[in-house]
Amino acid sequence: MNRISRATGALLGAAVLAVSLTACGGDSLEKGKETSSGGDKGSLVVGAAAFTESKVLAELYAQSLRDAGYSVSVTTVKNRELYEPALEKGEIDVVPEYAATLAEFLNAKANGPKAPEEKPVASGDAKATVEALRKLAEPRGLKVLEVGGAVDQNAFAVSKEFAEKNKLKTLSDLGAAKLKVKIAAGDECAVRPFCAPGLKKTYGIDVTGVDPKGVGTPQAKQAVKDGVDQLVLTTTTDATIDGFGLVFLEDDKHLQNADNVLPVVNAKEAGAPEVAAALDKITKVLTTADLAELNRKVDAERAKPEDVAAAYLKEKGLVGK
């Protein structure tokens, strides 16, 4: 599951969870390249999903844990349907996760595939979402560590010219302006509660239609830059919107669920206070803007996730002390 589909497809993913688990049951974990030995506190395996941001976060975690004295390997696993059971079994010890998406994933496992839609546990409140996540995670032998300010969730952007002309800083401003807007997004935006229907219900935005150019694609952003569409659906860690002359509008009424980044560990294998301390250092410092820039360096500059992570940890003074 790539970064964008993760952000926009939580409900759909939960609905097909049972099928996904069956389909993936025989697959094996895809081992990553990075392996380290010699740590005197024991060995840990950090899991990464198969998209840039997860790989960067996994490297941040791994390198911080190595600095704390652990021997750490990084394993890339295709998707959550594979790595979450591996985390429960202790085949993986640590994963970077997203609070709301994991909460609804576990909600579906515990209460059936329709639970995220009929009885959701996640919301726009990060604290409440993490509390709900912990209640679902702990019986499965998982420990949810501290949550930080870095968040990767759906976000909407307009052109700078459009924002300045209409004095727009928030989605509430856009609703109050009574402007007709067409959204450049995936075609599912027309029915997803966090897209067009939610914008209408929560903000009173007059959505006239959806231009199916995809979520956060260059074509979608170009359409808004050119004035063909007025609003584009992307994610908060999209580092390319400035290059298209776009700006985010704040989700000031918290329509989107709180997909804040946080580490989740196998409580038996990686529940030690030293593990939490090493990972909490990153959580406290990492911002959404930092994450977007790290993604940009990998995707646009073709830097390696391990190199990007090493430079960031050194810059922030998080290793080598």
* Domain 3-151+258-315 grouped into CATH 3.40.50.11540: no
Where in the chain are all domains bearing CATH 3.40.190.10? 3-151+258-315
Homologous superfamily of domain range 154-249: Osmoprotection protein (prox); domain 2 (3.40.190.120)
Mean of pLDDT values over 224-239: 96
Q: Do β-strands 154-159 and 231-235 pair in parallel, antiparallel, or remain unpaired? A: antiparallel
Residue 214 CA: distances (Å) to CA of 184, 222, 233: 7, 12, 8
Q: What is the pTM of this model?
A: 0.83
The predicted-structure confidence for 129-144, as pLDDT tens digits, reads as follows: 999 999 999 999 999 9
* % pLDDT > 70, the chain: 88
Write down the pLDDT at residue 321.
Answer: 67
* Mean pLDDT score of the chain: 89
Residue 68 to residues 64, 148, 216, 256, 318: CA-CA distances in angstroms?
6, 20, 37, 35, 10
- CATH 3.40.190.120 positions along the chain are 154-249
pLDDT mean over 27-47: 63
Report d(CA 310, CA 319) in Å as an integer. Answer: 9
Is residue 289 scored above 60 in pLDDT? yes
